């Protein structure tokens, strides 16, 4: 039985569609129930539905053999897992954003609100800027509007939320997308199953890429 940790929400739905398309379907997934464990014994798979930022924890600690997680989470938390495939979905970027009226000051220490303190610290260290990180768990865009921070470091997909709140992207830190990850120990003992899934996913992605 292969245990797969899927992120709840839109990314999870996209990943499920991808996996179902290569033979890892699980009819219960489409029933909109509140079940957190969905199983298809015929396919020998079990899906766990977890909070996106928790996927890497489930995989690193071996509760799930594989999972799908954003590259942002992998860079921020550095879990000790294999990163087998770039799934080319959930594409977005991590960027520095601030008020449209923001004026750069090279001297002042910056207050940065973010869900990604490690990424923010590394980015500003490489730019030789001193920052104070304010760790938030959501609604990051609010922070500069109410004076909690000068700028934010956050995921930007279309930029719509930023625009509605009179914020703009000031600089891009990195592009991110969803990755297939595997527990290292699981890979040693279920490697054939994991490789089979990875191979089918890779073939599907290449097929999509070349318009097949």
Binding footprint of another protein on the chain (CB under 8 A): 57, 60-63, 80-86, 179, 182-186, 188-189, 191
- How far is Cα 70 from Cα 178, in angstroms, rounded to an integer? 4
**In whole angstroms, how close is the CB of 3 to another protein at the nearest point?**
11
Of residues 120 and 180, the one with the C-beta less far from another protein? 180
| Burial class, 140, CB count within 10 angstroms (exposed 0-12 / middle 13-18 / buried 19+) | buried
**In whole angstroms, how close is the CB of 181 to another protein at the nearest point?**
9
- How far is Cα 68 from Cα 52, in angstroms, rounded to an integer? 8
Closest CA to 138 of 79, 16, 51: 51
Of residues 6 and 84, the one with the C-beta less far from another protein? 84
**In whole angstroms, how close is the CB of 29 to another protein at the nearest point?**
25
| Exposed e or buried b per residue across 26-38, where buried means at least 16 C-beta atoms within 10 angstroms of its C-beta | beebeeeeeeeeb
Of residues 82 and 102, the one with the C-beta less far from another protein? 82
**In whole angstroms, how close is the CB of 195 to another protein at the nearest point?**
9
Point out which residues pair with 151 in neighbouring strands: 112
**In whole angstroms, how close is the CB of 95 to another protein at the nearest point?**
19
Take residue 43 and report the two structure tokens written for it.
């396919």
Of residues 68 and 81, the one with the C-beta less far from another protein? 81
Of residues 87 and 162, the one with the C-beta less far from another protein? 87
Do 119 and 140 touch, CB atoms closer than 8 A? Answer: no
Take residue 101 and report the two structure tokens written for it.
């009226």
* End-to-end CA gap in the chain: 31
Of residues 100 and 206, the one with the C-beta less far from another protein? 206
**In whole angstroms, how close is the CB of 196 to another protein at the nearest point?**
14
């Amino acid at each position: 039985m292969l245990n797969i940790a899927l992120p709840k929400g839109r990314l999870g739905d996209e990943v499920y569609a991808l996996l179902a398309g290569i033979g890892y379907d699980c009819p219960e997934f489409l029933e909109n129930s509140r079940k957190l464990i969905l199983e298809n014994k015929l396919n020998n798979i079990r899906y766990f539905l977890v909070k996106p930022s928790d996927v890497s924890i489930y995989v690193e600690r071996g509760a799930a053999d594989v999972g799908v997680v954003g590259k942002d989470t992998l860079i921020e938390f550095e879990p000790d897992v294999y990163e087998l495939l770039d799934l080319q979905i959930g594409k977005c970027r991590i960027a520095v954003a601030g008020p449209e009226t923001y004026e750069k000051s090279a001297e002042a220490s910056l207050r940065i609100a973010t869900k990604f303190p490690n990424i923010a610290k590394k980015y500003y260290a490489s730019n030789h800027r001193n920052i104070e990180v304010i760790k938030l768990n959501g609604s990051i865009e609010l922070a500069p509007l109410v004076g909690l921070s000068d700028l934010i470091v956050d995921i930007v997909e279309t930029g719509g939320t930023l625009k509605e709140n009179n914020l703009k992207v000031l600089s891009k830190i990195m592009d991110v997308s969803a990755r297939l990850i595997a527990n290292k120990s699981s890979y040693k003992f279920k490697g054939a199953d994991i490789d089979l899934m990875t191979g089918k996913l890779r073939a599907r992605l290449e097929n999509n890429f070349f318009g097949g």
